A and B are shown apart, each in its own frame.
Chain A
Amino acid sequence: MDFETTLHVASELAGAIWVTLALAAATLPLGFVLAGIATWARASRHGSLRAIASAYVLAFRSTPLLVQIFVLYYGLSQFAWLRESPAWILLREPFACAVIAMSLCSGAYTAEVMRGGLAAVPKGAIEAARALGLSSIKVFFLVTAPIAVRRALAAYSNEIVVTLKATSLASTITVMELTGVAKDLMSETFAVIQVFCMVAAIYLVINSALILGLRLLEIYLAPQHERPLRHQRRRNRKAEVRSADA
């Protein structure tokens, strides 16, 4: 690969990184909200609500994401009434379709992560909070949620990596993100291995940064005595410096 091609490849990829990041950044919060709703519904008192939420999680976890994207993007265009409705403004956009399909899928997986986190909260802690006379909302926000978030973070960082990799499927419906651009560059320059290595490096760097960030968040959220010793000391030192300043 000569210098000119390298420069061309690098500049094309640099533009595509933002598309990939934008897809992930739009998908993850939406998926999180959907997962929250599904988790809430699965714990609801109404049987029908529970059934709907469970069916949603099961359906989106047992079908391939590509099928979901194609049903949404190619499948819905079959209906004339939908093409004339205002929703079509959103549904004819490949980017929006990719984000909607990926959010639904990510929501189903994240709902499982949330369930795992909630199941890891000790019953005794909740009973203790109730015994102190806290209302159920306070019990949730002061006791259940903080513990569940800490327990679920590792699994959620896994889900984030899965979502980042899933953004590559958007290229099948003409959203030119990293993998789609890589495909064009491979067939255009014939420098297949070089392009692969560059794109793989980009994905690995993004993945590692996200995993590291979440790991730090996990340490930050952990109570002092549960932290790794290294992080405990550093924080205490900071606290000492702060109190000395004051």
Chain B
Amino acid sequence: MAADASILQMLAWGDQGWSRPLLFGLGVTVTCASLGYVLGVALGFAIALAKLGSNRWIAGAANLYTTVMRGVPPLLVIFLLFFGTNGALMWVARGFGYTGYIEIDAFSVGVMAVTLVSASYSSEVFRGAHGTIPAGQFEAFAALGLRPFLGLYLVIMPQMFRQALPGLGNVWIMAIKETTLLSVISVAELMRVVGLAGRTTGQPFVFYGAAAVIYFVLVAVSSRVFVAVENRMRWG
């Protein structure tokens, strides 16, 4: 394609335009962010339970994990996983007697990175939400004869999620922003596609600008959705 093609031509649909690759990149971004987010929130909940539990060693380990993950740049975590997972997996596999070569693709590494970082942040969100629930609620379910796990599930968790929603919304937006970093380990998400398009057409400003607009819309829509869900789940 000529370097002086008009913006409309470049962004057109079809073989000549970049719309299809951009949409594909956006798909990878959203898939990676949502997979990592869902897994991360689940892991974060488990970590929050570990922090609130009575075992001091497990709570200490959970706190250490959160401190490290929140104090270190996400990019460093991505590099750790990118260079480290293959070796770690082969080490584990050798324990089982398998000596072949194992390789994890960059996309899985990306999902893992988003998972680990959002787990640390969402665990803090859950712990904060747990703290806002009055002690009377715990006494009430115990008085009803519910066992701790059932009481947690039926009484505490519904209230916790309501409290945690704004924080979880922030974690989701962070997950979207973190996926941009995956372009450095060559995951074919939006930033990667945009970089390629910019180099090919010689118009990087147009394409990085387009990426900025797309991320802006993604974040704006996400926060609207979270506010709508919050309003729906409000008391009364």
Contact = CB atoms under 8 A, between A and B. Distances in A.
Nearest to A168: B73
Interface in A168-199: 168-169, 171-172, 178-179, 182-183, 186-187, 190, 192-193, 196, 199
Interface string A71-109: 100111111000000000000000000000000000000
Contacts of A161: 71
A79 B202 CA distance: 10
Contact of B71 (A79, A171, A172, A204): A204
A200 interface: yes
A119 interface: no
B101 to A, nearest CB: 15
A175 to B, nearest CB: 13
A130 B4 CA distance: 61
A203 B181 CA distance: 19
Q: How large is the interface on B (under 10, 10 to 19, 20 to 34, 35 or more residues)?
A: 35 or more
A77 B204 contact: yes
A124 interface: no
A204 B209 contact: no
Given A62-B216, A62-B219, A186-B83, A204 B72 contact: yes
Q: How large is the interface on A (under 10, 10 to 19, 20 to 34, 35 or more residues)?
A: 35 or more
Given A63-B216, A168-B76, A204-B71, 13 more contacts: A70-B191, A74-B204, A161-B71, A165-B72, A166-B73, A169-B75, A172-B184, A183-B83, A186-B84, A190-B87, A192-B80, A200-B72, A204-B68
Contacts of B72: 165, 199-200, 203-204
Interface in B49-99: 67-68, 71-76, 79-80, 83-84, 87
19 contacts: A62-B215, A62-B219, A62-B220, A63-B212, A64-B176, A71-B208, A75-B204, A75-B209, A78-B206, A165-B73, A172-B184, A186-B83, A186-B84, A193-B80, A196-B84, A199-B76, A203-B72, A203-B76, A204-B68
Contacts of B34: none
Nearest to B222: A62
A78 B216 CA distance: 22
Interface of A: 59, 62-68, 70-71, 74-79, 161, 165-169, 171-172, 178-179, 182-183, 186-187, 190, 192-193, 196, 199-200, 203-204, 207
B22 to A, nearest CB: 14
B203 interface: yes
Contacts of B177: 64-66
B191 to A, nearest CB: 7
Contacts of A70: 191, 195, 204, 208, 211
B108 interface: no
Contacts of A77: 204
A193 B88 CA distance: 10
Given A182-B76, A196-B80, A204-B68, A74 B209 contact: no
B68 to A, nearest CB: 6
